[in-house]
Each structure stands twice: as structure tokens, then as C-alpha cells.
Amino acid sequence: MLDRIPKRDIFAWNALIRARLADRKPSEAILIYCQMLLRGVNADNHTFPRILNAARLGGAFFSGRQVHGHVLKLGLGSDDFVVTALVSMYGDLDGPCSARKILDGSSRRNPVSWTLLMGMYSDQEKPNLALKVFYEMAAAGVPLDSVALATALGASGRLRSVLDGKKIHDLARKSGLELHPLVANVLVKMYFDCEVPGDARALFDRMPAKDMVSWTTVISGAVHTGAFNEGLKLFRELCAEGRKPDHFTVSSVLPACARMSASRHGREIHGYTIRHGVGAGLPAVQNALMDMFVKSGRLESAQKIFFQMAEKDVVSWTVMIMGYSLHGRGEDGVKLFREMERDPAGVAPDAAAYYAVLHACHTACMVEQGRFFFGRIRKPGVEHVALLAGLLARAGKFEAARTFVEKRRMEDRPEVLRAVLDGCRIHRNLPMGKRTAEKLAELEPLNAENYVLLSNIHAAGGRWGSVEGLRRTIRDMGLRTKQACSWIEVGGKFHVFRVGDVFHPRSVRIRWELDRMMEKMREEGLSLDADFSLHDVDEERESIPAGHSELLAIAFGLISTPVGAVIRVTKNLRLCRSCHASAKHISWLTGRDILLKDPLRFHHFRDGECSCRDLW
DNA sequence: TTAGGGTTAG
């Protein structure tokens, strides 16, 4: 073919080069360019961008620089397209500073090359430098088009700088691009990233044309800022408009179902993905579905998806390992991790996968395995250290936990201290518990939870004076402890209960049921631990007779679901020993399975036993 | 015949 190309037909040469690039064969594109030079054909303004791209994609910096020489020789150094390709080549192969030099040597009027430079800084996690480029560009009078504005807004979001975001928003407004589809979408994301969901939502509502990216952005933003219900509502609105959510949208809304344990909504969306073939074979969607099932207490459904997945990635394995662990099946989690390592598909564990397997070791109290996996983590994070320290502590190896943490120089990290403290609670190691809790309170004086933990320890030791003192501290500092609440989904509706609540329409009947259970427990001589709890003890002492929120929710479940149905309750705080014991007894007395989710794990109560083996 | 951009999962 080459020999039959008429000498001057640069168009044909360009087409050949383009074809090689489309086939992703950059080195062959460069070879064709060389043939062209050998035949004495001069490249033009269409050839250079392609050849420079070929050099960039093939990592051929030396060739790229030679081509740069050709550009200068042929006097094409000020062509906008050529400059852009040069900026891109130098940036990718030699870094942004190098790209910057090209830009400075050009006419500097082309927004595309400026935007490229901005994007490079943004991709390298240097959004502040990206913004610097943007402001320079604006000051130099370069036209700010939609892509330039969008890129700068993306950088503001990454920097979480609403100040910059608003400035750029203003510029967009002045140039009439505020509601441009691209700009508006990025503006919405920027406001979410800067944690100003109100502004994000207001802009979304004003958008005249919302595409699927707009909807996905607002749903994902709502979910990430904790507005789970809002996310679900938006998703329903979208469907009600007759639009078809795609795999991005579905993967954005599923975490809301997971976080709320909204099993019914999650199952509806699962149905939607099956009916519309959305996300079949896409790990992002399948993994989000699995996670939703794990977190809404349906481990079997998650397993079913997992074992049917043709291509599992590291997230799929991690979700499933974590799923086993959260449901009290640590051994199965460790087994699955081993299986992943043996898998011929060759998935390499990352930091999160190691977190999951350590979590499984923690759940199963497998100390040696935990040590082994920890040793394999290349750069253990504080979350890994906290898990292993917690594992040692819950196994009663307090001295080992202490030396391990000190060796890692993490004795001042609240996450680690909290993990160790949990072991102290389980083993009722009051002296070490007290020291640990005091340190925690010193490190985070504004976190009311810490004083609650400390006061729990004083309460366990009967030091009510100290308990009272801590309550005063909390009050004087103007802090507030979290109020416990539990909820249960019945008939697609959430029923929320607080301690001693009497506001539910069926309150009297609930109370009666709970009293009946307590009475039965007494008859059967079942003991109810008083405890070393995780609640505000004073609240607890006052409210035991009225019933903790989880017991109210369980009692409501007993009277409002069919005999034999599993009762699924979620609680915003961790259970106390007395409620844990009551739930065990209730499962035995009624023959019901009770699935209670607290912020850290699931408790499966059946026949008077709990899946956590009382280690929690 | 040529360039820069936006939404997803642990």
C-alpha cells in the first residue's frame, strides 16, 4: 500500500496513521511516519497531533522530542492542535512542568491546552495547582469555555473548597454557561463534594435539561452526604418520570439501601436490574447488590450473586469476606480469602481486602491467622493496626496488644484505643479499660462518646460519684450524647423507636408484649446481665423498666409479623449486654429468629443463642 | 481527517 501512495498525498498518510492509532498500535503509527519521511513527504498540521499522540501512548519520549524538532522545522509550532498534542505528550511523559514550558512558549490563547494542564494537576491529586492554572488562564484573558470551567470546578470539589467553587460558579454565570449540561452537572457534584448539599440540590432543581448523569450525580451526592432517604426518593422520582436508570444510577442508589438496611427497596432495585438487564456482568453493579444484601441481613442472597458472577474482582471478594464476618462467620471469611488467593483469575488482595480478612480473624478470634495476614500487608494503615490490636485484646492478650501498638507507634490513635477498650470491656479489665478510656477522652475532648465509655467503666466499678462527675463534664462542655434508636421495616414502612417510647400507635400493645416476655423470662429463671455497657448509663438505669429501643422494636416485630417470620431490627448504637441477653431469651421463648443489626455487626439470635458467640 | 470534560461498587 505504502508504495502505491502518490508522493504528495499527505491525506492518505494521515489516514494510515489514524488507522494504526485506532488499532492501538502506536509504535506502528510511528513506523509509518518514518516511512513517510524516507519518501520525502512533509508532515502537516494533521499529522503532528497524531504522531505526538502515538509517541505519548507508546511511551516513546525520545521519538516525541524528535517529532517536536520536526514541528519547529516546519514552522507548525503555533498551530493550536499541534501545541495541544505537544502539551499532552510532554505532560504525560515528562510531567506537568514540562508541559507548562510548551504552553508558555505558545500563543497561550488556546483554552484546550490550558485545560489539559489543569487536568494533569487534578489527576495527580494536586487540585490546588490546577486552580492556580485556571486563575492564571482567566487573568491572561483566555476564553473560559464549558470544559475549562468544568475542569476547574472538579478541582474545587476535590479540594473541598466551596470558596473557589463559588467564584468559578460566578464566572460560569457571567458567561452564560451556568446551565450548560456539562457545567451544571459538575457544579452539582462540586457542591456535594464541598458538603453543601442544599446548594447542590437547588442547582439540580433549576436545571432545564437533566440527563442521566445529572440524576446519577444528585443521587450519589445525596447518598454520600448521608441523605439516604432523599437518594431513594430521587431514584423513585426518576423512574416515575418514565426514564430508565442505567448501571451508574443503580450503583449509586444501592449503597443507600445498604446503609439503611432497606431490604425491601434494595430487592426492588435488584428486580429492576434483572428486568432491564442493567449491570448484568458489571462488577460495580453486582458488588453493590451484594453489599446491599449483606447489609440488609440477607447473606444468602449475596452469596447467590457472588457464586454466579463470572468475573469477580477484588471488591467482589472483599464484600463477601466482609459479609461473612459481619454475620458472625469469621472462619468462612478467612476460608474465602484463601480461596481468592488460589483463584486462577489471579485477583491480588489490596488494603481493603486485607482489612476484610483481618476483620474475619477478629470475628472468629483467630489470633495466629490475624498475625499472619497482618504480616503480609505492605503498608498497614491505622485501620489494620486497630483490628489486630482489637483481636489481641478480645483474645485476652492485653500485654501483646500493648507492645504491638507501641511498636507501631499508634498508641495515640483513637481508632486503636477504641479497639483495645472493647477487649477490656469484654474481659472486664477495669484498670486497663480506665487508662485507655481516659487517654481517649484526652485525645478527643469534644467527643461525648468517650466520656460515656469512661463513665461505663466507673459504673462497672460502682464509682457513681465519678459517673456523676463525667455527666457534669459532658453538660458543662455543652456536648450531647447520641440518643439510641432502633427501627424495623414492616410492610415497607419504617417504625422507629427510642428508649421508653410511647409514641407508636400500638404502644400499649407493644408494652404488654414486652412485659409478657420479661415475665416469662423471670418464670424460666433466665438471668439478665447488668453490665459494662455502651450506653449512657444514667439513661440506662432510668429506662430499663421502660424498655430499650431494640426491645420495643422486637416486641413490635413479634406482634406485627406472621408467626415464624424472621424479625429484622436495626439499631444506631451498639447493644448492651442486658438487651443482648433478652434477645437471646426471646428467640428461645418464641421460636423466632431475630436478626439485630448494630453499627458494627449482625446478631443472629436463634434458640437462645447468638451468632456472635457473646463476643462483641 | 486533528485536541481538553461530567455519573458507579468494598
Spatial separation of the C-alpha atoms in residues A171 and A589, rounded to whole Å: 67
Question: Do residues A550 and A594 share a domain?
Answer: yes
Q: How many domains does chain A have?
A: 2
Distance between CA A70 and CA A73 in Å, rounded?
5
Give the CA-to-C1' distance from A34 to B4 in angstroms.
28
The answer to whether the CB of A115 falls within 8 A of the CB of A146 is no
Q: From residues 316-345 of A, list those within 7 angstroms of strand B by Cβ.
A: 316, 318-319, 322
Provide residues 427-456 of A with CB closer than 7 Å to any strand B atom.
none
- pLDDT confidence of residue A530: 56
- Residues A471 and A533 placed together within one structural domain of the fold: no
* Antiparallel, parallel or unpaired: β A594-597 and A493-498: unpaired
Q: Which helix (H) or strand (E) holds A571?
A: strand A567-571
Q: Given this model, what pLDDT does residue A335 score? A: 97
Residue that is written with C-alpha cell 444501592 in the block:
A254
Cβ of A54 less than 7 A from strand B: no
Closest residue, by C-alpha, to the C1' of B3: A81
CA dist A430 → A209, A434, A531 (Å) = 62, 6, 13
Task: Give the residue among A105, A98, A106, A154 at the shortest CA–CA distance from A130.
Answer: A154
pLDDT, position A298? 93
Task: Verify that A439 and A522 share a domain, yes or no.
Answer: no
A499 located within any domain:
yes
Determine the distance from the C-alpha atom of residue A332 to the mean position of all C-alpha atoms in its chain, rounded to a whole number: 24
Residue nearest to nucleotide B5 (CA to C1'): A147
Using CA atoms, how far apart are residues A95 and A322, in angstroms rounded to an integer? 39
- pLDDT of A158: 95
CB A439, CB A511: distance < 8 Å:
no
Of residues A206, A202, A265, A199, the one with CA closest to residue A231: A265
| CA A545 to each of CA A336, A499, A521, A557: distance values in angstroms, whole numbers, following the listed order | 44, 10, 14, 19
How distant is C1' of B4 from CA of A115, in Å? 6
Residues A511 and A443 in one domain: no
Cβ A154 to strand B below 7 Å = yes
- A112 CB inside 7 Å of strand B: yes
- Answer yes or no: is A66 within a domain: no
Nucleotide nearest to A147 (CA to C1'): B5
Q: What is the DSSP string of A337-406?
A: HHHHHH-TT-PPP-HHHHHHHHHHHHHHT-HHHHHHHHHH-SS--HHHHHHHHHHHHHTT-HHHHHHHHH
- Quick check: A133 CB within 7 A of strand B? no
First to last CA, chain A: 74
Residue A300 CA to B6 C1' — how many Å? 37
Distance CA A603, CA A616 (A): 9
Residues A358-395 as b/e (b if ≥16 CB within 10 A, e otherwise) read bbbbbbbebbebbbebbeebeebeebbbbbbbbbbbbb
Cell numbers standing for residue A438: 481516659
Of A476, A502, A531, the one marking the end of a domain is A476
- What is the block-wise mean pLDDT of chain A (616 residues), using blocks of 10 residues? 75 92 93 92 94 96 96 94 96 95 91 95 94 95 95 96 96 95 96 96 95 96 94 94 94 92 86 91 94 94 94 95 96 96 89 96 96 95 96 95 94 94 87 90 89 83 85 88 87 84 87 90 75 53 64 94 92 86 93 93 94 84
Q: Is the CB of A11 under 7 A from strand B?
A: yes
Q: Which residues contact A348 (CB under 8 A, 6 or more apart)?
A: A314
Instruction: Decide: CB of A189 under 7 A of nucleic strand B.
Output: yes
Helices (H) and strands (E) in chain A, counts: 32, 6
Q: Is residue A239 included in any domain, yes or no?
A: no
Nearest of A462, A451, A445 to residue A421 by alpha carbon: A451
Would you say A294 and A592 are in contact if contact means Cβ atoms under 8 Å apart?
A: no
Per the structure, the residue whose CA is closest to nucleotide B2 at C1' is: A46
Residue type, A348: A
What pLDDT was estimated at residue A541?
52
A465 φ, ψ to 5°? -65, -45
Residue A276 lies in a domain: no
Q: Which nucleotide is nearest to A317 (CA to C1')?
A: B10
State the nucleotide closest to A219 in CA–C1' terms.
B7
Same domain as A489, residue A460: no
Q: What pLDDT, on the 0 to 100 scale, is given for residue A532?
A: 45
Q: Cβ(A29)–Cβ(A54) under 8 Å?
A: yes
The residues with which A498 forms a beta bridge, in sequence order, are A485
Domain that holds residue A550: 485-610
**Residue A531 belongs to a domain:** yes
CB of A106 under 7 A from strand B? no
d(CA A535, CA A300): 32
Same domain, residue pair A583 and A564 = yes
Chain B bases closer than 7 A to any CB of the protein: 1-10
* Domain closes at, from A412, A447, A476: A476
pLDDT of residue A616: 75
d(CA A426, CA A138): 61
Name the nt closest to A143 by C-alpha to C1'.
Answer: B4
Q: Which residue is nearest to nucleotide B9 (CA to C1')?
A: A284
Q: Are residues A493 and A472 in the same domain?
A: no
CB of A415 nearer than 7 A to strand B? no
Residue A23 falls inside a structural domain = no
* Residue A273 approaches strand B within 7 Å at CB: no
A554 and A461 assigned to the same domain? no
